[in-house]
Structure 1
């Protein structure tokens, strides 16, 4: 099932944003699919869609919804302005949901960004930064942040095996950007489930470029994360920040 959600001021950019939002989010608890939980009165998913649609380069946002809640999601994102919105039934896994939403992007848009709905506070400037790197010639782009904590390898749950050099480690966020033709090809031949779409590029031997991420693009996974998101969102509807300081 595919549903178009029309808006009066659909964008004319060169970017499609794919948002997989069909997961249950069991670690968040509560019984409601994670993307439909609320941050200060607005659902996680609507916040993510609204910000993506507001990015100037974005022409279309394709959402993979829980298969039994497509109409609910259509109603939820109705009225979001700035880009065309399309809702499709997602799959049983993140990878299958991305593939379903990607298949619904029938427009000839050269850049696709894949964004986790759970990173609902990611600012529009981050979408633009990732898209610009793809436009500049990168086939795949991920926003990253340095790792601040000391990282240990463990041999058993209570035994340290060594310390990892964090200089080469980065926390990877979304949106992740791709040349649309490459992402379609990789999803068509995808095998084992991976935790992000950049992993498909890596598995195929391709190069993935890094750009600065944003602290607001953290992933709401646990009840504690949700409380942080609520505190950060406060009474605002569209928080923004720039790239992290070097």
Structure 2
């Protein structure tokens, strides 16, 4: 579908939009193409992520936040791949940090968007049931919602080592049953998310977790069940696993 102009829409029924920050370089996957543009099953991961959001009937707009100098390239890329008819998209240049990029994505949302999803471009295979569960929880009144999974491993809190490869003293062992590994999309009441980005200042590389910013406002955040296929593609081994998941989907479901 053709891209929307990033201007406020006429008033109408409240709707849901997804913001996908994709301005990072993805250095842990090695040099070269930005991580979001790496191929997965012959298609850039970003396209998989956009389609994952558009797979929800509730999502009518996807905002892709591109590298500052790469918005035209990303726009052309999306133009070349089909999206569901009910979904429009906007591509905007990103900022120096993820936090700034998300803020820039929020800034172009039409006025009638009341539920906002923020989704990692590096989580290309999140199932639509997870997306819908997040949206439903926000619509039911939660100001912020995150999908998450229980941890399989015991976690240790340590004192960071003074240098690479040095031993790290253990400070504590958190109770594993109380811990969750958080995924995306994270869902928000729009006003709450805008307030968080307008009032929570984070130094250095900025915030990497929008729900954490909402927590700092003192607003409640709730968890819904995540999915094992919503993992983040960060390292080369993750890409191998993602290829295997995608191949299984195509064989079983014609995905």
2:199 counterpart residue number: 189
**TM superposition shift of 1:48:** 0.3
Q: Does 1:204 align with 2:190?
A: no
- Taking the TM superposition and a 5 Å limit, the aligned residue runs for 1:98-117 are 98-117=102-121
Query: Which of 2, 5, 12 does residue 3 from structure 2 map onto?
Result: 5
1:115-171 CA-to-partner distances (Å, cap 9, x unmatched) read 001000001111110000000010000111000101123344424524332111100
Contact 2:200–2:216 at 8 Å: present in 1 too? no
Q: Does 1:231 align with 2:244?
A: yes
Contact 1:34–1:118 at 8 Å: present in 2 too? yes
- Supply the RMSD in Å over aligned alpha carbons: 2.0
- Taking the TM superposition and a 5 Å limit, the aligned residue runs for 1:1-246 are 5=3, 14-78=15-79, 79-81=82-84, 82-155=86-159, 156=161, 157-161=166-170, 162-192=172-202, 193-234=206-247, 236=249
Instruction: Name the TM-score, length of structure 1 as normaliser.
Output: 0.88
**TM superposition shift of 1:31:** 1.5
Alpha-carbon distance between aligned partners in 2 of 1:147 and 1:165, rounded to the nearest angstrom:
10
Which consecutive residues of structure 2, in runs of 5 or more, have no partner in the other structure?
5-12
Which consecutive residues of structure 1, in runs of 5 or more, have no partner in the other structure?
7-11, 241-246
Query: Higher strand fraction: Structure 1 or Structure 2?
Result: 1
Structure 1 pair 230–30 and aligned structure 2 pair: CA distance change class (3 A): farther
**TM superposition shift of 1:197:** 0.3
Contact 1:13–1:56 at 8 Å: present in 2 too? no
Alpha-carbon distance between aligned partners in 2 of 1:13 and 1:73, rounded to the nearest angstrom:
28
Kindly tell me the number of residue pairs found equivalent between the two proteins: 232
Contact 1:28–1:223 at 8 Å: present in 2 too? yes
